[in-house]
Amino acid sequence: MKRRQFIKQGIGALATLALGEVILLTPDEAAAATRRMSEPAAPPPVPVVDYRNLKQVPSTCLNCSTVCGIVGLVQNGELVAIEGNPADPNTHGTLCAKGVGAISINTYPERLLYPLKRVGKRGEGLWQRISWDEAYATLARRIQANIDAGHPERVALHQGRSRLGAEFSRFLNAIGSPVSLNHRALCSSNKRAANYATIGDTDWETPNADKSRYILNFGSNFMECHQGSIHLARRVAQGRANNGAKLVTFDVRLSNTAGRSDEWHAPFPGTDGLIALAMGHVILEAGLHDAAFINDWVNADLAALRAFYAPYTPEWAERESGIKTADIRRIAREFAAAAPAAVAFTNRGSQAHYNGFNNDRAVILLNALVGSIGQEGGYNYMKTGLGGFGVKQPEPVPPSPKIRTDLEDPPEWPLANRWQKMRVGEIVYDYLKAGRAKLDVYLSYTLAAPLTWPEGRSLAVEVLCDETLIPFHACSDVVYSEMAHYADMILPDASYLERWGLDNRDNYEMRPYIALRQPITPPPGECVSFADVLINVGKRLGPEQARYFQFANHEEFVRQQCENIRIPGVANAFDYLKEHGLWVDTAKPTAWRTYERNIADSELAGTRSDEAGIVWRTNAQGKAVAIGLRSGDRVRRGFDTPSRKFEACNAEVAKAAAKVGIADDGWPHYVPIPSHLNLPADRLILTTFKWNVHTQARTAPQKLLSEIVHDNPLWINSATARRHALKSGDWVEVTTYRPKGHTLHPTGEMLGRQRVRVVVTEGIHPRVVAISASLGHGFSGRASEGRKGRRRANPGFASPTGNAAREDWDLAENLWWDKASGGRGNGFNLNAIIPIHPSPVTGMQSWFDTVCTVKKV
């Protein structure tokens, strides 16, 4: 107690923390301090906003990965509102709640403000304020030691959602480390792999729903949280209003999308692919397929397709999935009749399973059977990425490392790094604990693994606390997160509203575009964008590394990236993007049926054709690259697959599976989930889902979004609830079990237990219980923790207008979901008892396969 008299307490004390002083940052201490200081006071006056004289700054949202164009409205140097950018071809100026609710990020009173270093035990919460010079020097010294010792691979960068891929890759390549870790396998790798394996695309599909007449949805909750949800939701609405399009949704839970569909069907978890295969069986059996597309563009003939689909009868699908045979036959016929203006697509509900890779391939194949690939109203895709605009890295460009490690390229999942660096992020902490990899320097960026990872508050926290496994951990984050709490150094990050970057996504108008993210207001305190941190560290490394960081800062890096962008009538692309936010290349043709496009004779010089008609060109690195498919006297572009055709059967998949002892002939067969076979009557399947206002761990600290959704009881079917004598509001103990099958630790043994409140509903499959993710924070401030109270006598940071004593009245007095005030609190987080469960071959986390029991308590 005597020692603590000399230690400042609570995040609010950061503003008065002098260089070298020590502060205690833990949820309990901070909460106790704020509650003791809480006292009635008059609310501050509401600022008057003069909307006639606001400065408008275009930028790009990052409250989820959809990256919508936004315009920040600034008054007297302070962000007062966020609107959609009318120039955005996807949104046309509309925004979801997350985009608008981000208004609270910049002025969040509990922001991290200064670089801090740990002075107590790791996880104890004692921090000392240091200078950026000390932070940069420490990082550079530790990283350089690994380079000099010949072990650059012992430096890892582990990122959450960043949209800073070029910057991170440059830093790691410069130091010679291949260990770039991400959360792709916790999000979308099965879905991406399915697209890569069938059409060769490098991103998600772009359903042309506004021109569609039939929309077949497997597990996508696009009214809330699909990739590009707002883009797709408004176009589905247009398709239904203008074309009479029918929307049919398969989902184990009555999501907002399922509830707004013409039909909702709740299949047994993980049987989506079998239902799609049964529909394909019906389409071929009835002769409703597109014979011309199959003959010209599918790498298997009609006889092979019939043989593959023959076993997958609707009757089999009904036995496994519970969906009636008559419904499967009817929907298949309706879908085929509407083609080519018909689209079948997927999302997390189908792909986040042990068999999710084949589930999604089977659904995509439905589009090929009816010839809707690339058609208006059908299953579309387009090339994204910045390279098509001439975006380049500043010279000199560091080479890619030749080293590989099990941590970033685990051999058990050979397709994880085949098409794109998807990686198997969920195994990182397990591999470190098991000694499969060794790290000396661990850099984490907006990750919050204890909250968002499977076995997060169990295994992840155990490894993060162990200094023998992670000797040094530097965490960049905006708030004091659960990841920052277990670091050795905290690097206060600039929010996405305060930093630079180039970005783009699929354009539902089917033309490429490029967008700029730029600071709307400067960051508070001494916050620095992590991209600038890496640049500053790079400059302090040895000459061999420092030569790759000759630009001044991140803004200059982005400016140089833009030098080769050519916008008609514009002298400087960077300045144009600063003014307008984005640019759509309307000179490019719309991306309909791109596989049919002819390659001009002038482009064929120096090429060769093989016996299959594939046209090859040798690139600058001396590697033969397929560029098209010869058809008679012309060469067409085809698909970006090895065969240049849509691949119903993929030979690479078969080879990859064989490497790890899995029998696979390359076709998207239905594979039952081992943990679900012969499921005892008392066992249920635990699934998770997302709300429209929350994204992983980054949104709960934003008060406007947590006010909308801050509680997440466990959904349970009414029939199941009756068997357990449960009613809404009761508490249950959830017990989870490890998986079975070809995965990590397939023991089937009990993993953990946790108490949670239930809500009883008809809107969920009887064998499923569901809970939303992104809640149950133990850190990150009052809004996410559900604790109101004054921020002590100290301000968080000075406002641009100089009002250093400003407090957030909502967080101090109006946070009505605080349990102490009779509210429900901040929800639950079950990730500690959800097992790490990579799916075979691809490594995608099988979030929705967890077997559990529930018991009333």
Number of Cβ within a 10 Å radius of residue 366: 25
| Residue pair 167/557 in contact by the 8 Å Cβ criterion | yes
pLDDT for position 31: 43
The residues that bridge with 83 in the sheet, in sequence order, are 71
Q: Which fold has domain 116-185+394-497+541-569?
A: Rossmann fold (3.40.50)
The residues that bridge with 78 in the sheet, in sequence order, are 75
pLDDT for position 11: 74
d(C-alpha 228, C-alpha 206), whole Å: 9
**Token reading at 269:** 């978890």
Residue 792 scores a pLDDT above 80: no
pLDDT digits (tens, 9 = 90+) for 193-225: 999 999 998 778 899 999 999 999 999 999 998
Angle ∠(641,67,480) on CA atoms, nearest 5: 120
d(C-alpha 857, C-alpha 853), whole Å: 13
Q: What percentage of the chain exceeds 90 in pLDDT?
A: 81
Work out the average pLDDT over 501-522: 95
* Mean of pLDDT over the chain: 92
For 661, the 3-state DSSP assignment is coil
Residue 1 scores a pLDDT above 50: no
Q: Hey, what amino acid is at 97? A: A
**Phi, psi (degrees; rounded to nearest 5) at 515:** -130, 155
**267 prior amide bond cis, ω within 30:** no
Q: Which residue has the higher pLDDT, 802 or 587?
A: 587
Structural class in CATH, domain 675-786+826-856: mainly beta
List, in order, residues 6 or more apart from 644 with CB less than 8 Å away: 614, 626, 628, 629, 638
pLDDT for position 6: 63
d(C-alpha 211, C-alpha 467), whole Å: 57
pLDDT class of 806 with cuts at 50, 70, 90: low
Number of Cβ within a 10 Å radius of residue 666: 19
Of 104-113, 115-124, 201-210, where does the model show the most confidence? 115-124
pLDDT for position 350: 97
pLDDT digits (tens, 9 = 90+) for 564-599: 999 999 999 999 999 999 999 999 889 999 999 999
d(C-alpha 845, C-alpha 838), whole Å: 4
pLDDT class of 27 with cuts at 50, 70, 90: low
Q: What percentage of the chain exceeds 70 in pLDDT?
A: 95
pLDDT class of 817 with cuts at 50, 70, 90: very high
> In the chain, what are the domain boundaries?
116-185+394-497+541-569, 205-369, 598-636, 675-786+826-856
CA 610 vs. chain centroid, Å, equals: 40
Which residues in 438-448 are b (16+ Cβ under 10 Å) and which e?
ebbbbbbbbbb
**pTM as predicted:** 0.95
pLDDT for position 28: 54
pLDDT for position 650: 97
pLDDT digits (tens, 9 = 90+) for 428-463: 999 999 999 999 999 999 999 999 999 999 999 999
Of residues 821, 583, 808, 654, the one with CA closest to residue 111: 808
Residue 3 scores a pLDDT above 70: no
d(C-alpha 341, C-alpha 278), whole Å: 21
Of residues 280, 253, 268, the one with CA closest to residue 324: 268
The residues that bridge with 118 in the sheet, in sequence order, are 127
Work out the average pLDDT over 524-544: 97
Work out the average pLDDT over 9-18: 79
pLDDT for position 253: 98
Residue 336 scores a pLDDT above 60: yes
Handedness of CA 791, 797, 799, 802 (dihedral sign): positive
pLDDT digits (tens, 9 = 90+) for 625-642: 999 999 888 999 999 999
List, in order, residues 6 or more apart from 633 with CB less than 8 Å away: none
d(C-alpha 785, C-alpha 26), whole Å: 12
pLDDT for position 241: 97
CA-only gyration radius of the chain, Å: 27
pLDDT digits (tens, 9 = 90+) for 36-85: 444 445 676 777 888 888 999 999 999 998 999 999 999 999 999 999 99
d(C-alpha 666, C-alpha 647), whole Å: 9
DSSP element (H, E) containing 248: strand 246-250
d(C-alpha 568, C-alpha 108), whole Å: 41
Q: Which residue has the higher pLDDT, 33 or 532?
A: 532
The fourth-level CATH superfamily of domain 205-369 is Dimethylsulfoxide Reductase, domain 2 (3.40.228.10)
Q: Hey, what amino acid is at 739? A: P
| Residue pair 717/761 in contact by the 8 Å Cβ criterion | yes
pLDDT for position 147: 98
d(C-alpha 398, C-alpha 401), whole Å: 9
Work out the average pLDDT over 712-737: 98
Q: Which residue has the higher pLDDT, 384 or 199?
A: 199
pLDDT for position 7: 83
Number of Cβ within a 10 Å radius of residue 753: 15
